[in-house]
Homo-oligomer: A and B are copies of this chain.
């Protein structure tokens, strides 16, 4: 059976991307990261979600990017912004190198597991302006992957697939609903409390889209 790796953060986007991989007939292996984020909530959520999405196996790997901080998601001295999305700036929630590290580790797993695809929940429309969520970034990573690996030399590089990259958040939610993703069991909030904060960028973007669709959050 053809295999895919899905990066699963526990958020709405990665859950939807994972559901798409499963719906396309892949035997899926989820990969989540303990990267030094301030809260463990998203990992609990990811572990709860994986079997419900039809995922067969789930790795959680440590790679502690908080050793050098540089982001309000990993550095306790920096507060997570609450004032709303400003499309002109890259916010402090940007984690230096995070997607590059995550995709690199996914390539390692994909090669070891003979997976032919890596599904990513990244999105270039309703997002926070992160440079590592753009199509040209992903294309450059595919070029690198083709050169980096033993399987690449054999012409069997895993393909990086970002099925949500050009969708609005509204369209992502519609896609999630069509695939029976348990949206209310996903966690997009940058904070780690009992309920989502409602004021971080991630909550604001999600809640605005849910509101447009007439869904309560």
Q: Which residues of A are interface residues toward B (Cβ below 8 A)?
A: 59, 61-65, 67-70, 90, 94-101, 103-105, 107-109, 111-113, 131-132, 134, 136-137, 140-141, 143-145, 147-153
Contact between chains at B67 and A61 (CB < 8 Å):
yes
* A104, A109, A111, A149: most-surrounded residue (chain B CB, <10 A): A104
Contact between chains at A150 and B131 (CB < 8 Å):
yes
In the complex, which of the residues B67, B111, B112, B152 contacts A59, with contact meaning CB atoms closer than 8 Å? B67
Q: Which residues of B contact A153 (CB under 8 A)?
A: 90, 131
CB distance from A112 to the nearest CB of B (A): 3
CB distance from A203 to the nearest CB of B (A): 22
CB distance from A55 to the nearest CB of B (A): 16
In the complex, which of the residues B104, B109, B147 contacts A104, with contact meaning CB atoms closer than 8 Å? B104
Complex CA distance for A136 and B68, rounded to whole angstroms: 29
Contact between chains at A97 and B104 (CB < 8 Å):
yes
- Contact (A63, B65) CB under 8 Å given A104-B101, A105-B97, A144-B141: no
> Knowing that A100-B149, A137-B144 are A-B contacts, what are 10 other residue pairs whose CB atoms are under 8 Å apart, sorted by A's residue number?
A67-B109, A68-B113, A70-B108, A96-B107, A101-B104, A104-B105, A137-B147, A137-B148, A140-B148, A143-B143
Complex CA distance for A108 and B100, rounded to whole angstroms: 8
Complex CA distance for A148 and B135, rounded to whole angstroms: 11
In the complex, which of the residues B59, B100, B108, B109 contacts A148, with contact meaning CB atoms closer than 8 Å? B100
In the complex, which of the residues B62, B68, B113, B141 contacts A108, with contact meaning CB atoms closer than 8 Å? B68
Contact between chains at A94 and B150 (CB < 8 Å):
yes
CB-based nearest B residue for A134: B147
In the complex, which of the residues B95, B105, B141 contacts A63, with contact meaning CB atoms closer than 8 Å? B105
